[in-house]
């Protein structure tokens, strides 16, 4: 591998998973080989001795996950899907929670907490990210819903939008009092700004941006990011419908997630094999949490329209 510039974090956590001490350094590293999520899952499952650090990292990540839940973090169990188009071939992959994904996500969150703590302790203006505490349904009401995607969907509806500011704010969703995203400076400009600020302070140099300058830049980032998210959603929606059009003869297991307009028998279903959520109007009485077998009866990706039929029902059911 080639020598690369990096930003390295060293963290000590206590028996509960809370941060005891930390250090950060601009570094130069030389990767030797690349591991996929599947590779790491297999190595952890088989207990490969050649990479003992992986097991240590996974145990630390699991410890951190438990600690965050104790601090009020909110867990939303929903499948994630990735849509890729290559040479006119559409591929949809569904990602389930696995050891490797827990390892990566928790250590990324840990790095974000460390960066936030450093900024807080030294009074640095950084792109702190936070999220207000949501008003969740009562516990007894949530427990009546089936665990998994149905319950996760109910919790997700209550979550507030995340926000950014130049002073520390609590991130209720992550269960952290302070948090700064720093792990993706190549694809997120706010992460790069955080790197500029922290590295300058570590090296005893003047900060590149004042609080006012950083605030102005973050406002621009927020507007641009919102537009990019909308474009990404529209693009994923189009290729999702196109995939379903090309596989119109397939029968898809579907889970009723929630009502959109119950008085019209109009709800949201999850196509479980694809991790896709689609609106659907039912021609019979169903309950949230019911499982159906559905098939596409009409779809027009360019007009953003799709209709489903439940295979054991004679009457088509629509979604849009």
Residue 111: how many other CB atoms lie within 10 Å: 20
Structure tokens at 95: 């990602």
Q: What is the pLDDT of residue 51?
A: 85
The tens digit of pLDDT for each residue in 23-64 reads 999 999 999 889 999 999 999 999 888 788 999 999 999 999
pLDDT of residue 314: 41
Give the integer Cα–Cα distance in Å for 284 and 267. 12
Output the CA torsion sign for 303, 309, 315, 318. Answer: negative
Q: Which residues of the chain have pLDDT under 50?
A: 314-318, 320
Q: What is the pLDDT of residue 111?
A: 98
What pLDDT is attached to residue 222? 85
The tokens 């090309």 sit on which residue? Answer: 246
φ, ψ of residue 288 to 5 degrees: the values are -60, 130
pLDDT at 313: 53
Picking from 184, 39, 202, the residue whose alpha carbon sits closest to that of residue 119 is: 202
- The Cα-based distances of 96 to 15, 220, 291 in angstroms read 28, 34, 19
> What is the spatial distance between Cα 72 and Cα 172, in angstroms, rounded to a whole number?
7
Domain boundaries, the chain: 4-206, 247-319
CB distance 258 to 267 below 8 Å: yes
Provide the b/e sequence for 138-160 (b: ≥16 CB within 10 Å): eeeeeeebeeebbbbbbbbeebe
Backbone angles phi, psi at 209, to 5 degrees: -130, 135
As a whole number of angstroms, the distance between CA 76 and CA 231 comes to 24
Contact 174, 162 (CB under 8 A): no
pLDDT, tens only, 121-130: 999 999 999 9
Look up tokens 């030797």; give the residue: 32
> Given this model, what pLDDT does residue 316 score?
44
- Any idea which architecture 247-319 has in CATH? Beta Barrel (2.40)
Q: How far is CA 50 from the centre of its chain?
A: 31
Which whole-number Å values give the CA distances from 229 to 132, 160, 221, 235, 282, in the listed order? 21, 16, 12, 10, 30
Q: Tell me whether residue 272 is exposed, middle or buried, using C-beta atoms within 10 angstroms of its C-beta: 0 to 12, 13 to 18, 19 or more.
A: middle
- CB atoms near residue 80 (< 10 Å): 11
């Amino acid at each position: 591998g080639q020598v690369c510039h990096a930003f390295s974090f060293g963290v000590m956590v206590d028996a509960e998973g809370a941060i005891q001490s930390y250090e950060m350094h601009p570094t130069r590293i030389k990767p030797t080989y690349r591991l996929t999520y599947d590779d790491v899952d297999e190595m952890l499952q088989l207990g490969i001795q050649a990479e003992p650090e992986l097991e240590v990292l996974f145990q630390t990540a699991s410890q951190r996950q438990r600690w965050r839940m104790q601090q009020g973090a909110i867990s939303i169990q929903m499948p994630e899907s990735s849509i890729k188009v290559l040479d006119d071939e559409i591929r949809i992959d569904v990602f389930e929670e696995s050891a490797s994904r827990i390892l990566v996500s928790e250590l990324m969150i840990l790095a974000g907490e460390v960066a936030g703590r450093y900024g807080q302790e030294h009074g640095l203006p950084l792109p702190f990210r936070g999220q207000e505490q949501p008003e969740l349904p009562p516990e007894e009401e949530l427990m009546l819903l089936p665990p998994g995607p149905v319950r996760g969907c109910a919790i997700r509806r209550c979550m507030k939008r995340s926000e950014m500011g130049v002073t520390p704010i609590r991130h209720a969703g992550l269960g952290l009092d302070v948090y700064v995203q720093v792990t993706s400076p190549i694809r997120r400009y706010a992460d790069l700004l955080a790197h500029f600020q922290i590295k300058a302070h570590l090296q005893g140099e003047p900060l590149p941006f004042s609080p006012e300058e950083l605030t102005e830049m973050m406002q621009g980032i927020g507007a641009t990011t919102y537009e990019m998210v909308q474009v990404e959603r529209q693009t994923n929606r189009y290729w999702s419908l196109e995939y379903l059009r090309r596989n119109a003869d397939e029968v898809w297991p579907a889970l009723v997630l929630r009502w959109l307009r119950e008085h019209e028998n109009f709800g949201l279903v999850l196509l479980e094999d694809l991790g896709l959520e689609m609106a659907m109007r039912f021609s019979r009485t169903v309950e949230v949490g019911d499982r159906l077998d559905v098939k596409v009866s009409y779809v027009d990706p360019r007009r953003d329209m799709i209709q489903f039929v439940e295979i054991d029902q004679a009457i088509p059911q629509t979604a849009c």
